[in-house]
Amino acid sequence: MFKVPIPEDLRAHIPRKVSELIEFIGRRVREIGMGSVKHRSDVARERLRSFRKLGAVQNIILSELSKSEKALVTLISLGDFYVEVFKLISDLDPTELVKRYKSRKLIAHRIFHECRKDLSTSESVSEAKEVFRKCSGRMISLLKRMASTHNTLVNTLIEVSKMPAVSTDELKVVIAGLPQVGKSTLVNKVSTAKSKVGAHPFTTKDIVVGHSALNGVRAVFIDVPGVLDRPIIERNVVERKALIALRHLADLIIYILDVSPNSYYTLREQLNVLREVVEVGGERVVVAINKVDVTPRDKIEEAKEYLLKELNLGEVVEISALSGLGLERLINEVKSRLLKHGFS
């Protein structure tokens, strides 16, 4: 039966970093001896030994390059969201990387075959050793020239492999908003998630997933890092990862506003981000004003007026994620929107 790939599958294909690989090659080469093969001359013996060592260097390098290629193919199979996160973290294109690793494998093959010919015609022990030294050096240089890119690949694959798995057949509800507006508290209340809740902004650094059921259909609520009110070019990786989640993950987006007296951000700052979220999500966006139990009524009405006037958003749900106030109505609104968009 076909298994749907998940981020955890990447772990089986994460290659060594270049420095670790070179050390491993060195250890393996030092272990190679003559075995039980007998030859009449020292030159023939050294040719064989050098050939075996060179073959080991080639095999290890090809194996590691193939492993990198397999990891990238697995990453691509995970879907657009994970590919975009990979690009964001690494500034590398996985499709182009696959081509690059294929090219490096061809070069390693060519070096080996050129050097095998040189070894077969070597006329002394020292010449055979020199052929091996130069040829293995060329292969090692092949690795060193791609060290920066390759090590970035390894680090990024490790990060992506830790991300939560989200099935394509689950309804995906993303909880969005600026830091410290109550996203983590909400996702903890309405799903199985155990997202960390703190007293300061930027507590959520990773995407957190919790499951629930809506109309008998399995749904996943996704708590993403807070997005700040500033141009995308100025946003850090955490903030941009949140926008990727909105673009590639969400069947529905719940955008949380906090207009309470202790809010870290002004209504204007929160509306600026909401405007961008609406551009991404359109009718998939549900707006919820949080902490209404500690917010003066005039502040709530002011926010609703701005939402209607500036974004033409008349349907707003008032909640308190902490106390549970209004959450039933919010879930009903989520169900209604999902049914409207064909999820039942």
Q: At what angle do helices 42-78 and 125-145 cross, to 10 degrees?
A: 10
| Number of compact structural domains in the chain | 2
- The confidence band for 137, taking pLDDT boundaries of 50, 70 and 90, is very high
Q: Name the maximum alpha-carbon separation found in the chain.
A: 99
Residue in this structure with the two tokens 């393996």, named with its chain if needed: 28
pLDDT tens digit string along 41-97?
888 888 888 999 999 999 999 999 999 999 999 999 998 878 878 887 788 999 999
Residue 201 included in any domain? yes
Q: What is the pLDDT of residue 184?
A: 83
- Same domain membership, residue 183 and residue 122: no
Span between the terminal Cα atoms of the chain, in Å = 26
pLDDT average, residue stretch 96-120: 94
Q: What is the pLDDT of residue 261?
A: 93
pLDDT tens digit string along 70-86?
999 999 999 887 887 88
Domain ends where: 128, 161, 194?
A: 161
Q: Is the distance from CB of 111 to CB of 130 less than 8 angstroms?
A: no
What is residue 279's three-state secondary structure?
helix
Q: Which domain holds residue 253?
A: 171-340
pLDDT average, residue stretch 201-216: 58
Its pTM surpasses 0.85: no
Residue 1 included in any domain? no
- Same domain membership, residue 206 and residue 327: yes
Q: Is the distance from CB of 86 to CB of 160 less than 8 angstroms?
A: yes
- Same domain membership, residue 330 and residue 182: yes
Secondary structure element (H or E) that encloses residue 221, with its range: strand 217-223
Looking at the predicted structure, is the pLDDT value of residue 239 above 70?
A: no
- Same domain membership, residue 26 and residue 137: yes
